[in-house]
Structures are given as structure tokens and as C-alpha cells.
Structure 1
Amino acid sequence: MASDTPRTGYALLRDPRSNKGSAFTEEERRRHGLEGLLPPTPSSLEHQVARIHTELANLDVDLQKYLLLSDLQARNETLFYAVLMSDPATFMPLVYTPTVGEACQKFNHIFRAARGLYLPITAKGRLKELMGHWPQPDVRFIVVTDGERILGLGDLGLGGMGIPIGKLSLYTACAGVPPEVCLPIVLDVGTNNQDLLDDPLYLGLREERVRGDDYHAFIAEFVEAVQLLYPKCCIQWEDFANVNAVPILAAYRDKVCTYNDDIQGTAAVALAGIYASLRITGGKLADQRFLFLGGGSAATGIAELLSQAMALEGLDIAEARKRNALFDINGLMVTSRTDLAEFQRPFALDCDPIHDFTEAVKVLKPNGIIGVSTVPKLFNQHVIEAMAEVNERPIIFPYSNPTSRSECTAEEAYRWSQGRAVFASGSPFPPVEVDGKRFVPGQGNNVYIFPAMGMAVYATEATRVTEEMFIVAARAVAEQVGEDSLEKGLIYPPQSQILAASLHVATKVAEYIYDHGLARVPRPDDVKAQIEAKAYKPVYPE
């Protein structure tokens, strides 16, 4: 980490933010006492990137590549981001989904250098003190998890730290948020994963998860400490279980600058995919019907944002919610059910119970199905064929990740629909050929939303993150999908162009922030130029 006193010599080579490694020039080596500590011939940044590419190409296992990149981030931050930004489509799956899922599962066995903050509930009453140990005084983004619902993998306890680390790497690589203003945090409140509690290498608290008032008091202390230490900071809640994710967002969304990516980011990327899909299927959003497989915070988050977007097209909000039906392990969510949570009730339908998903498709005739169940293969052949019977171009979105949790594969969706599906998934799938036509599956990855949202908030110093900001972001993503992409079935911008796409989204969201009086800084004459000027670039300082 950077310090007030410039480092020299050996210490400089151990400072990831200032280290240039072999790229230190001969003059810099003399000036900083580095002579003799490095091979004698300086390298360019481009040569260093090529060297890392070669190292990665010699590894066969993605987790090994993840570890190589993690070690690189710990020793030379500029080079790490130069590598990621040199080929984002290749490296995003390595530093985040799907590889990060395995990294979180094995976190305690592959732990190397500490990164971020680890705040145990045993330190309750002292969080401000512990957070004060972080050396960077101006933190603008915190991604925080309690590790209870990591991707579709469940309770990974302290191992959930891999998610905030990975997410914040993408804030920088995909939208140019400066890495020095980002802070990953895990709140360790215990774990109910017995395998972790029995593992002698587990690094977290060896106790069952704290619930109830003590848990929420811990969260409240954390939020207060953030406001005191980092008053311009935005908190992104990540991978909390539904029982906590929904009330936490409800408690703080109107009080501090905060959002939940699993609820709101996932919703926005789904809405973006639907906006783009409608350019293929035709029709207005307000005329569509959707059926969700899964009824948790991700499903209700998407359903609510879709409902709000439908309402902006003139539909009554209550009627809009009835167009977004939820189906969980106990069947279709209907008003006669007594097991619904408060956040699920707005989407309950006044109809007879249905316990088979295929039957629900046949009865409700949705234009699209959206999978957020984290249970693989539930979009089976019967489901896809039923969707193809009631739609000329059925929208099929299996959004659960990692790949092992996807409700169906791209090949299954395209083949079982005779190539008529409009498809996007939460995890990457290779191109598919059906009846001589090649389809390129889109990945409905939150990476199209949260880095851009972060950049907009960073540039404007926004005081709040509102629901409509996510609708603005979704539209901005969808409008960048070209006709050539739609022809191939690709309904998201190419990930190879993620930086340009994110800066476009950030500009649109920043304009909304300025228009609605949510910025702490004056509006510039050119918002787009402001965003581009603030974007981090992985180059060594002179």
C-alpha cells in the first residue's frame, strides 16, 4: 500500500502500488536505490504483459491462473490491471466467475497475502478502530460480504472474501475506478458450514452464524464506521442470504450511498438483456410476461425492476408486478400460500397453485423465463419445448452461476427450441451451431452494470444510488448492442469492449445523478469527458 513516505530500495519492490518490477529505468534504479536488486536490463510494460500472457498460457488449470494473477496483484498492481485490460474477455472469467467460485471454496487452503479487511463479530464495539488500520484515507467503494450465500455455492464463511476482491478488480479493469479507492471487506459472523468448522485450516471464527439483533447491531456499527471514516464511500452488499440481504438494503438505501448487486445489479443486467431481446422478438416491455425459477432476493429484485420499468411505460405498478411471476421449490407463488416472505407477496398471483414448472409455462404463457434458482438443469427439454410452443422467439435466461449451477446450457436452449431461443446466461458458454446457423451466447453478467455504476458514483460523488439509476444503466447497456450482434443471438455488448461499454453506461448514469441533484460536485460542461478523464489507466508514472 502507498504511504506518506516514498519507499526506496527493497521496500519499493514490495509496494504493489508503486512497484514497476523490471520496468524501472536505469535512472530510476539509481535514484531509488534499486541497483543490484533487479536484472540489469529494463523491460517495457508491454514486455511485462507479454511475459504474464506466456506464463498463463503454460498453465492448464484455471485456478492456477487465478493464483498467478492474485500473486501479481499483490506485487505489481499496475501490471495486474494492464494484463486484465489487455484482454478482458479472457481474464474476467479467471479473476471472477466462474473461477472465483472454486477459489472461495478453497480459500483457506490457498491463502497467500492478506488483502482487504477482515472484521469479526468478536470485535463488535471496535469496528471503527479496526477499519482505521486501513492505510488509504479516501475510500470510495467498499464491497462487503458475510460469506453466507456465495454465488450458488452457499455458506463459505470467511472464504467469501474472494468475491469482494474479485468484484473490485472488475470495478477497475472494466470501468476505470481507481484501485486505491476500493476496499474489500468480509464480515465474519461465523459459519454454519460444518465442513469449514471441522477444517483445521479454516481461517474464520469457529462458531455458528450469529443471527437476530446481535447481527443487525453489528451491521449498523459497520455502516456507521464507514460514514465516519469514509463519508464519500458507497457500500456494495454482496452475497448475503435473502433473510439478511433484503432487510439490510431496505434499512440503508435511503440513508447512505449503497446498493446490493445481487438484487439491483442482477436486475439491471437482466433488464438490459430484455431490452435488447425485444429488438429481436418485437413488442413493448409493458406487454411482456415473465416467469422466474427461484423466488429469492435476485428473483424479486429483477421482478421489481422490470415492474418499475413497465410502469415507466404507463402500466399500473400493481398490474406490472402481476406480469412477473415467481416459482420456487414449493411451486408458483400464489396468494393462497402461507409461506411467502413479505418481499415476495407483491408478485403472488391470484390463481390456483401450480407445482410443475412446465405446467406453469403452459398456463401462464410467459414471453421469457429467468433462472435464478442456483439449481442446475431445471430448464429441461420439456420446459424449453413448452416455451417454444407458446412463443415464436422464447426468451431463455438461465442466470445462475457458476457454470455448474446453470439451469441449462446454451446448446440445450438452442437445440430444444430449434434455434429459436433468445438466450443469455449467468456464466459463459461457447458458440453453438444449430441447423447450419451459428449462435453466440450472451453472458448476462453483472459486470455490465456494477463497474459502470461505480464509475458514475465515483465521478459525481453521488449521495445515493436509486432504483431508476439501474433502469438508466440497463437502457445504456442495451443501446450498445449492434444489429450484427443481434443477428448472432448476442444481446450484450462484446466483453472485449467492456471498458468502452462501461464508460458509456457510466456517462448516462452520471447525467441522471446530476439531473436529479444527487451529486456532491458541480456538473461539468461535458459529462462524458469528465468520466473518461477520471478513468484509471494502467501505466507507470514517470
Structure 2
Amino acid sequence: MTNAYNILNNPFTNKGTAFTKSERETLGLVGTLPNKVQTIEEQSQRVYEQYRLRPEGMQRRKFLMEIFNTNRTLFYYVMQQHLVELLPVVYDPVIAPAIEKYSEIFMKPQGAAFLSIDSPEDIEESLRNAAGGRKIKLIVVTDGEGILGIGDWGANGVNISVGKLMVYTAAAGIDPREVLPVSLDVGTNNQTLINDPLYLGNKHARITGDKYYAMVKQFVKIARDLFPDVYIHFEDFGRDNATKILNMYRKEIPVFNDDVQGTGIVCLSGVLGAMNISKQKFTDQIFLTFGAGTAGMGIANMLYRELLVEGMDPEEAKKHFYLVDKQGLLFNDTPGLTPEQKPFVRDRSEFENADELTNLEAVFKTVHPTVMIGTSTKPGAFTEKAIKEMASHTERPVIFPISNPTKLIEASAEDLIKWTDGRALVATGIPSDPVEYKGVTYNIGQANNALIYPGLGLGVLASQAKLVNDEMLSAAAHSLGGIVDPNEDGAAVLPPVAKLQSFTAKEAVAVAQSAIDQGLAGKDIKDAKKATEAMKWTPRY
């Protein structure tokens, strides 16, 4: 193939119409492009105008992915110019149907590595080939079992890895040449996919047990051998595996699980923000987690650890938590408890009406939580009657329905504000418009992990951190404070996505400083701000 063909078809080297006259002569591109030489600003304007002509939703995402596949620098330049508008299109919520349709609309692999449990001998070669000689510093890997709120989507789930990495670059400036999305294809229990002739993944039930964990261990070992500095972000693994895999590695190498830790950090940040507004103490709160799966328990753990950081006794701290799942309040004799749930469940002897605590309203009448976070993926689960019951026992109820995508949210921000007469402090997992109520505009924070993991990743990579521990995660959560003025009427509990790039930079410095202070940073890393600024990539030719 000609040099011109390779350059124009490599998204990392292609500049399209921005190649100058001298570059075209030097690189053998004369005559392969229209004569007009454009600036990246002119290209961006053209791309954005074309984007706006597409119908909302999937068609707009497909167009943006064409730019991503063609010219990575231009894609990120456009993203940074229109971050608030484009983030929900390339990531959540539009990524959900893109995952469901992945095999049907497949065009390009988008630089991902596809690893199959049926061919473990190919893992090293697959990672080498996908990296293409690039020095990989960040991997986002999924096995596709617990995608967003939509469940098991097998190999289609690779789109979540691609999407997360887009956010890392757009929000934090992680160099796109140094990232690698990875799919662990271990099969799927989604019969629709197995029956679908277009499905591109392994058409057998999910492999579990020893063989599954052997593949995970093989992947991690080879990835660390090939890319010694790599930071591994585990994404959307199933309920039974997410915490177990995280715990296998978190004390050995820099790893992060977004569902276990990222959701927990952003919710902790939101609760801290709510305390700034309500002027209440974090240690006085009673927490109810509605949906006690991977995300719910990750949140409970993060809130619990913050109570310990604030000096509370561990046994006392556990008494501040209630877990509610589909069967109601969870007790220590509830069948099928997970290891993550057991520390937080209650004893039936605490309640005279334990058998009646099977729904939210009954739970609220008996225990009086001040903070409720929903990760249930049960649309409409926060009913008007239940919310009014909760609000009758606390002055400023903190309510975060964070299930996503949009169709799975427990309640809308607008309803929560109205049902509590404007007293609720609300964050949602999806973008929510401001709510107008009785002359006040309530800004709704988005409890979006994108507020957290990009800055955390930049801080980890910039500091060359050997591990990612609880102190660094707490530093990330606290770093979001001070961005929103808590004294404004209708102030949001979390900063807006519009300020994502600025507070990501602040968070990265806080995380890097924590690594330095704990002796976990690289030996030459002494200045957190300098290290994070040196790490940032800018989308310029």
C-alpha cells in the first residue's frame, strides 16, 4: 500500500483537508485531497454543521463515530468545542441503543482488542495487534455482563469501553494514542444475541468459575507484561465478579472498577455537596441504598469509608445504612446475600414489623433515612406517596435516582422537587433540565461517573501511582467541592458537566498529590500540578 493510503486511513495520522501544501509534497499526498487547505477550526465548523443536520440520537452518534474512525484529532477537537451537547451522544444515554445494535451496525473495530475465552492462546497476539506498536497506558476492559442498566450484551459491550475512553480524552486530555479498549468475550446468557445471526460474539453461555478467572488473570498478566505502566479500568462486569476481580488486584497494581468505585465516589461527592447546601453534618446522615447490586454496594462502601475517615467507629458507622432490594429491606437471614451486602444488613430483632418491610413506603415509616440513592433500574420506583413519606421525616431529603439509561430512572428530578415542595436535594444519573418551581430555578446535578473517573485516571497516570487506594478515591470525591456556590437558591449538589474539563484538572492534581503524599508516586514525581499538566494531550495538529 502507498504511504498516502496508510496516512489517510490511520485516524492517528490523518489530518484530512488540514494537510498543508508542504506536508502533501513531503508525504506523497499531492492530488489525494481537494486543493483547499483548511484549519482545524474550519474542519470543526463543517463537522458540527453536518452533525446538526442528522436526526437526534443514533444517527448523530453514527456520524460522530465516522469522524472518530477517520480523524481522531478532529473528533476530539469537536468534542471539546461542544462537550455538553455531544457527551450524551457519544456516551450515555445514546450509547445504550448503540450497544444493543453493535453487531448490526458494525463498521470498524475502533481500535479495540477482542479476546476470546475459546482462544486463550491468542490473548498476547491480540493485544499486540490492537496496540499496533503504541505505548498503552490506559485500558478499559469489559466482559459485557452488566452493561449500564441494560444487562448482558456480550461482545457488543465493547462499545462501553470505547465510549469510556472517549470521555477520558475529551474530559481529561488522556492521549488517545495511549489507550486501548478491550473486550473479554466469555460468551453471553442473552438468548436474543445467541439466536441473532448477525451477533459477532461467541455464541455460547457465559463461561464461569475457574476457567473464567483464569482468563481474567491471563489478560491482566499479559497486559502488564506488554504495557508495564498500564492502568486497568474494569467496566460493567457482572454482580458476582466485579468486586471479586477488583479485590484480586487493588493492592498489587493500579486498577479501578467504575461500577464499584466510580459510582460510589460521584455519589459521595454529591452527598458532600448536599451537606454544603443544607449545612448539615455528613456523620448525622442515615443512608438508604435502593438496589443493592454492584453499584449500590459500591456507593454504600464509599459512604461508609468516608464516615471512618471522619473518625466514626466502624460498628457505629454500619448502623447508618439500610439496604433495600426487590424483596424489601435486607436482613442478615435474607437468602442469597452477597459478601458485599453482609456487613450492611440489619437484624430482624431490631424491628417489631420486620415482615412488613417489603416496600419503600413501609421502610420509610419505620426507619427515617435522610439520604436515598437509587441504583435499582426500576423505572418509577420512587413513587409520590413514598417520597412524601420520606420527606416528612427530614428537612432536606437527599434523593439521587441514578439508574440509567433514561427509561430506567426511579423518578424524574421535576417530580422529586414538586413532591417535596422544593426541599429535596436531587442528583440524577442522566442529564436533567433545570426545574422551575415556585419562582426558584433548581439546577440538577448529574451523578455521572464522567465527573470522576477521567480526573482520577489523569492523576493516577501523571503521578505514575503504584496503586489506587481509598485515600486517593476520597481525595477525588472532595476535589469537586467548592465549584458550586451552595448559598445560591436552587444550587446543584454536583458541578455541571459544562465545567468538566476545569474540575477534572483540579481532581487530577488532588489525586496525584495524594499519591505523592503516601509515597505511591513514581520516584521522579514531586510536583502534582506540573505532572498533570505535562500529561495532558491537546487536540491540535
TM-score tier after normalising by the smaller chain length: over 0.9
Question: Are positions 1:165 and 2:162 aligned together?
Answer: yes
Separation of aligned partners in 1, 2:299 and 2:537: 31
Partner of 1:514: 516
Partner of 1:493: 495
Q: Which amino acid aligns with 1:515?
A: D
Unaligned runs of 5+ in 2: none
Partner of 1:265: 262
Q: Which amino acid aligns with 1:530?
A: A
- Render the CA deviation track for 1:214-270: whole Å, top value 9, x for unaligned: 111111111111121111111111101111112111111112211101010000000
SS in 2 for 1:242: coil
Partner of 1:348: 345
Shift of 1:376: 1.0
Match for residue 59 of structure 1 among 33, 54, 63: 54
Separation of aligned partners in 2, 1:530 and 1:210: 42
Q: Is the 8 A contact 1:140 1:182 kept in 2?
A: yes
Shift of 1:317: 1.6
Partner of 1:75: 70
Match for residue 89 of structure 2 among 94, 103, 107: 94
Q: How does 1:499-538 map to 2 (within 5 A)?
A: 499-524=501-526, 526-538=527-539
Match for residue 29 of structure 1 among 11, 24, 27: 24
Q: Which amino acid aligns with 2:373?
A: I
Q: How many residues align?
A: 533
SS in 1 for 2:59: helix
SS in 1 for 2:339: coil
Separation of aligned partners in 2, 1:397 and 1:96: 20
Separation of aligned partners in 2, 1:52 and 1:413: 38
Separation of aligned partners in 2, 1:499 and 1:224: 33
Q: Which amino acid aligns with 2:440?
A: K
Match for residue 412 of structure 2 among 406, 409, 413: 409
Comparing 301-310 with 120-129, which one deviates more in the overlay? 120-129
Q: How does 1:111-122 map to 2 (within 5 A)?
A: 111-115=106-110, 116-122=112-118
Partner of 1:227: 224
Q: Is the 8 A contact 2:277 2:486 kept in 1?
A: no
SS in 2 for 1:480: coil
Q: Is the 8 A contact 2:525 2:531 kept in 1?
A: no
Partner of 2:271: 274
**TM-score computed with the length of structure 2 as normaliser:** 0.96
Separation of aligned partners in 1, 2:276 and 2:133: 46
Q: Is the 8 A contact 1:478 1:491 kept in 2?
A: no
Match for residue 7 of structure 2 among 12, 26, 30: 12
Q: Which amino acid aligns with 2:455?
A: A
Q: Which amino acid aligns with 1:123?
A: S
SS in 2 for 1:307: helix
Separation of aligned partners in 2, 1:515 and 1:460: 11
Q: How does 1:21-420 map to 2 (within 5 A)?
A: 21-115=16-110, 116-133=112-129, 134-350=131-347, 351-352=350-351, 353=354, 354-420=357-423
Q: Is the 8 A contact 1:236 1:261 kept in 2?
A: yes
SS in 1 for 2:171: helix
- Render the CA deviation track for 1:323-382: whole Å, top value 9, x for unaligned: 121100111112232331221110011233311111112221111110011111101111
Q: Is the 8 A contact 2:374 2:400 kept in 1?
A: yes
Q: Which amino acid aligns with 1:500?
A: S
Separation of aligned partners in 2, 1:294 and 1:136: 43
Separation of aligned partners in 1, 2:332 and 2:158: 39
Give structure 1 regions of 4+ aligned residues with deviation exceeding 4 angstroms: none
- Render the CA deviation track for 1:178-217: whole Å, top value 9, x for unaligned: 1111100010000111111111100000111101111111
With over 3 angstroms needed to count, the CA separation of the structure-2 counterparts of 1:400 and 1:136, relative to structure 1, is farther
Unaligned runs of 5+ in 1: none
Q: Is the 8 A contact 2:374 2:401 kept in 1?
A: yes
Separation of aligned partners in 1, 2:210 and 2:65: 37
Shift of 1:137: 4.0
Q: Which amino acid aligns with 2:17?
A: S
Q: Is the 8 A contact 2:401 2:411 kept in 1?
A: yes
Separation of aligned partners in 2, 1:240 and 1:523: 33
Q: Which amino acid aligns with 2:532?
A: I
Separation of aligned partners in 1, 2:336 and 2:145: 22
SS in 2 for 1:236: strand
- Render the CA deviation track for 1:6-28: whole Å, top value 9, x for unaligned: x8423211111111111111121
Partner of 2:463: 460
Separation of aligned partners in 2, 1:259 and 1:498: 20
Q: Is the 8 A contact 1:136 1:180 kept in 2?
A: no
With over 3 angstroms needed to count, the CA separation of the structure-2 counterparts of 1:416 and 1:340, relative to structure 1, is same
Q: Which amino acid aligns with 1:52?
A: V
Comparing 158-167 with 464-473, which one deviates more in the overlay? 464-473
Q: Which amino acid aligns with 2:284?
A: D
SS in 2 for 1:519: coil
Q: Is the 8 A contact 1:304 1:321 kept in 2?
A: no
Q: Is the 8 A contact 1:136 1:181 kept in 2?
A: no
Q: Which amino acid aligns with 1:146?
A: D
**TM-score computed with the length of structure 1 as normaliser:** 0.96
Q: Is the 8 A contact 2:134 2:177 kept in 1?
A: no
Q: Over the residues paired in the alignment, what is the CA RMSD in angstroms?
A: 1.4
Q: Is the 8 A contact 1:146 1:188 kept in 2?
A: yes
Separation of aligned partners in 2, 1:320 and 1:19: 55
